[in-house]
Amino acid sequence: MAEKSETKKEEKKLTKLTVAAPGGRRFRAGLEFGPEAREVEVSPAQAAAIMADPLLKSKE
């Protein structure tokens, strides 16, 4: 039973990122970004997609 509990905790881990789209409005990982930086909390999969996008500036 402890394994299930640990798995659920891992799934709920969120990553905080500060993200901006300097070139203008951009959508990635189900979120919209603009020229002004905004802080978001996303899943590890969403964080990977956002950080891999060359048109977005992101930092943890």
Please give the tally of structural domains in the chain.
Answer: 1
Is residue 34, in this structure, part of any structural domain at all? yes
Phi (first) and psi of residue 13, to 5 degrees: -65, 130
Is residue 7, in this structure, part of any structural domain at all? no
pLDDT for position 12: 77
pLDDT band of 2, cuts 50, 70, 90: low
Is residue 3, in this structure, part of any structural domain at all? no
More confident residue, 58 or 3: 58
pLDDT for position 27: 98
Tokens of 13: 């881990």
Domain with 39 in it: 13-59
Is residue 1, in this structure, part of any structural domain at all? no
Is residue 5, in this structure, part of any structural domain at all? no
Q: Note the pLDDT tens digit of each residue in 5-55.
A: 555 555 579 999 999 999 999 999 999 999 999 999 999 999 999 999 999
Is residue 4, in this structure, part of any structural domain at all? no
Global pTM? 0.78
